[in-house]
Structure 1
Amino acid sequence: MLKVTITLEEDILQFVDQYAQGNRSAYINTLLAEHRRRILAAEMIAALKQDAEDPEYQAEIAAWDSVVGDGINARE
């Protein structure tokens, strides 16, 4: 874990202190981790939508789907 110094506006710090239950670092880490999770999820959804709308990608997927059931068994 790294230690950093940040500057917060007074009203933001009061808000953090109101909800941090005595542990500002843990509270801020939790907020940022959740924010990061939401951003990554939105980026993944956007990428999947882009793939779904890409005819070349869809053709490639269709080609691979056609060989999925060709009897090859990776365990043998």
Structure 2
Amino acid sequence: MIVTDVRHKLLIFTQETGISKQEISKELGYHYNHFSAIMSGKYGLSDRFYGEVEKLFRRTGYIKALDNKGRL
């Protein structure tokens, strides 16, 4: 199954790695409440958010969430 939605990729990431959503929000540079609102769909996804998630996946070696060009 190919997952293309960044929110879904982050949920799978938390399940597979055991990293909490609080830790992810801190790593991405977002307050947890804002991050939670983004994840629930209350706010749209910005270019900054996509970029920070890509960096997080690269830093943690979670390359299966990236395409062959290293992008979400």
Per the normalisation by structure 2, the TM-score is 0.26
Largest Rg, 1 or 2: 1
Structure with the larger helix share = 1
Per the normalisation by structure 1, the TM-score is 0.25
